[in-house]
Structures are given as C-alpha cells and as structure tokens.
C-alpha cells in the first residue's frame, strides 16, 4: 500500500506540467489579442478623426477666402440665425428648423426692388442645379401680398419657395434694412455670412462657397 501511495504521488505530481484546455494561460492570450485589436481600432478611429478635422479646417479657410471674394460679411463660428415660421405664396408652411441639414441661401426681396430682379434667375439656377445635393434657396418677400408674389414668380420662372412676410416680422428679426439682403446658412444651422445688395450668385466664387458648405457633414436633426 505504501508503494502504491508513492506511485500515486508521483503521477499526481506530474499533472500540473500538462496544461489542460481552459487553463488560465489561454484566456490571457486571447485577452492580449483582443486588447491589441481594440488598440488598433482606436488608433484607426483617431487617425480618421484627425483627418476629418483637418479637412474641415482647410475647408473653413477656403470658405473664408471665397466669402471675401464675393464681398460677403462673415459671422463668427457660433452665430445662429433667428428661427422663423412662415407661409409660402402657395400656402405651404415653412420654418428654418425644418430646413436643418441643408445649406440655405435666404434671400430678402420685393417685386418693386430693381436690384433684386437680376439675382432671381441666378438663385433659380443654383436651386435647379444643387437642390438635389442639399441646397435650399428661400425667398422672404417684404410686405407684399400673395398675388404680387405669384405673378413675379411666374414672370421669372421661379420654382424655389417664396415666403410671405406681410408684417415684416421676419425682415425685422434678421435686421434687414435694405434689399436685396442674403444670408448664407450652413448644414449645422450656423450663420455663415451676409450680403447686403446684389451679388453674382452664379459665378465661380459663389458656387465654390456653396459646394464647400455642401461638402460638410449633414447635421443630425434633434427633437426639441
């Protein structure tokens, strides 16, 4: 019996050298591999983020330079335009909040404004060419009735929304004191620039501004 016990002791003493499946070494190895993969993913995301931020900064510098060429007054980065709710000449309700995620050209005009008239075909052109890419051209009429607005739109072949502002409330909220006045608003809802007086909205500088802003990420709409 003593000899048998000694044999058993010898056999048992050899077992720890044989690592069975499920021993602590296996999960430790898997954990190291998982940690390595996670670090690689994190590094990749960081590189992508830096690349995106760098591209946005470069695009911001490009837009600032183009604004000067079009003689537009730039707003500071965090400026938000006033919200508005209005009705188009066709009876459709329209608000600034509903346009979030689009690049907006918000033009204040009147049918009696001689300087406004040459801009309208240019707005129609960019509306036709870039609406599908996320551009919204909105006209805010100054204190005229729907009949006058519809007649003007028909004469010039305008198909972008024309909002009535019979009491001048939207004009007042935006501080408009001369026509035409146009505000440029980015996808994320920030005010980019303002132009008082007519501009060549169809020229290369204007189109480059619009396309640079369209290239920015689409803002996510949030519930109020």
The Cα–Cα gap between 143 and 121 comes to 21
Give the percent of the chain with pLDDT over 90. 67
User: Is residue 167 predicted with pLDDT exceeding 80?
Assistant: yes
Return contacts of 204-208, CB within 8 angstroms, 24+ apart.
Answer: 205/66, 205/69, 205/70, 206/70, 206/126, 207/126, 208/62, 208/66
pLDDT at 143: 95
- Would strands 85-88 and 191-196 be described as parallel, antiparallel, or unpaired? unpaired
pLDDT at 104: 98
pLDDT at 30: 76
- In this prediction, residues 193-212 reach a mean pLDDT of 96
CB 216 within 8 Å of CB 187: yes
User: Is residue 13 predicted with pLDDT exceeding 90?
Assistant: no
Q: What is the DSSP letter of 188?
A: T
Q: What residue segments make up the domains of the chain, in order of their start?
A: 70-214
Query: H helices of the chain, where?
Result: 2-14, 25-69, 119-130, 146-156, 169-173, 204-214
User: Is residue 54 predicted with pLDDT exceeding 50?
Assistant: no
- In this prediction, residues 49-77 reach a mean pLDDT of 74
- In this prediction, residues 26-33 reach a mean pLDDT of 70
Would you say domain 70-214 falls under CATH 3.40.30.10?
yes
For all residues of the chain together, what is the average pLDDT?
83
Residue 43 binned pLDDT confidence (cut-offs 50, 70, 90): low
User: Is residue 58 predicted with pLDDT exceeding 60?
Assistant: no
Query: Tell me: the pLDDT tens digits for 109-153?
Result: 999 999 999 999 999 999 999 999 999 999 999 999 999 999 999
> Would you state the torsion angle of the CA atoms of residues 182, 142, 84, 78, taken in this order, to the nearest 10 degrees?
30
How many residues are given for the chain?
224
User: Is residue 19 predicted with pLDDT exceeding 60?
Assistant: no
- Among 2-11, 81-90, 125-134, 150-159, which is the least confidently predicted range? 2-11
Q: Is 157 left (phi over 0), alpha (psi -120 to 50) or beta?
A: left
């Amino acid at each position: 019996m003593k000899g048998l016990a000694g044999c058993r002791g010898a056999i048992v003493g050899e077992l720890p050298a044989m690592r069975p499946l499920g021993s602590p070494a296996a999960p430790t190895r898997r954990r190291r591999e998982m940690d390595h993969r996670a670090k690689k993913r994190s590094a990749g995301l960081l590189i992508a983020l830096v690349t995106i931020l760098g591209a946005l900064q470069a695009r911001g510098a490009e837009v600032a330079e183009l604004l000067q060429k079009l003689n537009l007054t730039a707003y500071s980065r965090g400026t938000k335009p006033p919200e508005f709710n209005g009705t188009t000449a066709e009876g459709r309700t329209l608000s600034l909040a509903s346009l979030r995620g689009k690049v907006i050209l918000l033009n204040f005009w009147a049918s009696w404004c001689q300087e406004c008239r040459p801009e309208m075909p240019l707005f129609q052109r960019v509306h036709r060419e870039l609406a599908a890419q996320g551009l919204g051209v909105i006209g805010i009429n100054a204190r005229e009735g729907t009949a006058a607005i519809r007649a003007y739109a028909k004469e010039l072949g305008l198909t972008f929304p024309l909002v009535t502002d019979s009491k001048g409330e939207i004009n007042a909220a935006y501080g408009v004191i001369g026509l035409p006045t146009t505000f440029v608003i980015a996808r994320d809802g920030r005010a980019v620039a303002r132009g008082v007086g007519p501009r060549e909205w169809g020229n290369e500088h204007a189109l480059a501004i619009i396309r640079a802003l369209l290239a920015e990420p689409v803002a996510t709409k949030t519930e109020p």
